Structure 1
């Protein structure tokens, strides 16, 4: 495990206090990605996670990163292991205790929320709900219970590049992180399905998105969540029309 949690907390302490008027295009961001034992939040668990704090003025050179490898005390789903490469044996030998690791992750996210720095994750509900499930499993306070800001009452401030891309880009086909970064000209810094490489790639998407679609860059922190919720509702309505036209069940999943 690359242990830079203390450096990340120090960087968050020195980060500026953002306001509801801060536009996304010039906002600090806290990127987040996880690798897990499976795909069911609350039942499966996080085995690897990365947080990347991005200063928009410095880009990659100013990134503060923290990475965790975690012993989930449960077996890996073989399909998940085939994707992310983690084995039960490796996690048992090298993994950090989840009560310590998950607590550190939640503390760092809460510190960013107090600065009005949004949490950025590609397909954010997956990572957010996985974290919530692990916090519940180990009887740890949720992020909203730790934050001193309005997050405690209004929920997390989140940026989801997948939701944004669906709203502004009319391209067809799948929208995996790999394909989306290719579309926006983002060059990955490592192999995908590695939490750090995926986190950096997702954070990197905001600059080209804001350039190609100025309305994205102009979104303020105060507008961000409702804009994304409405974008998701619009996408889901279109998806359900397509599903029903083919005799398939509609989707009733919500965003955040």
Structure 2
């Protein structure tokens, strides 16, 4: 098989990222979002960005990460009920065009979006697929690499610039470019259909969660549990 042109799933990608008020998928709220499209060389073809007024105070710790304060969100942001539906519509449009949706640690971003849809009575993003999660894939193909697996660290490993981490646009675009770099580095993944790769990630994420849970339990937390559901928990 000639693999040189096999990475068709990586040629054009939708990219998605959220910045939020916290880390709990059931309670945190969207503050900023990016949905875009990148081309085969990682060039930005389309982009939409949102600042959202989450309707709650943005904790100082979150502001220090993404730079958006409660005051700025109230002044510049869309009401959450409007912003959430626009984000869902943008992702639905990308999916309807047959574009894989790339999100780094997708189970976080897509789960937050799902909970926000429920919160405001919107129709959730229906069965998002195919989703490409560079975090899950990288852990599967390079399991024993030492060091952090943050987007910043993983981008550096694959030679992808990320100059403005925790900016939703910068993170979304970098995640897409990391996905493309992984496709170049691992030809067998490049040759895998996006739908099949999505299915593999379901299994990989479950296995990774089980392994992490076992490690935590062996190291002094016998009651620790974590979910391996993917891409929506």
TM-score, scaled relative to structure 1: 0.81
Residue 3 (structure 2) aligns with: none
Q: How far, CA to CA, are the matches of 2:73 and 2:211 in structure 1?
A: 41
Q: How far apart are the structure 2 equivalents of 1:73 and 1:242? A: 38
Does structure 1 residue 255 correspond to structure 2 residue 204? Answer: no
Q: Which residue of 1 aligns with 2:209?
A: 236
Secondary structure of the corresponding residue to residue 167 of structure 1: helix
Q: Which residue of 1 aligns with 2:22?
A: 38
- Alignment map for 1:1-256 (pairs within 5 Å): 23=7, 25-56=9-40, 59-60=42-43, 62-144=44-126, 151=127, 155-169=128-142, 170-188=144-162, 190-249=163-222, 250-256=224-230
Tell which deviates more after alignment, 40-49 or 110-119. Answer: 110-119
Superposed displacement of residue 27, structure 1: 4.3
Check the 8 A contact 1:42/1:137 in 2, yes or no. no
Count of aligned residue pairs for this structure pair: 223
Contact 1:48 1:69 (8 Å CA) reproduced: yes
Coordinate RMSD, CA, aligned:
1.9
Given that residues 32 and 120 in structure 1 are in contact (C-alpha distance below 8 angstroms), is that contact kept between their aligned partners in structure 2? yes
Provide the rounded CA distance (Å) in 2 between the counterparts of 1:36 and 1:239.
25
Report how far residue 55 of structure 1 moved. Answer: 2.6
- List gaps (5 residues or longer) in structure 1: 1-21, 145-150
SS at match of 2:64: helix
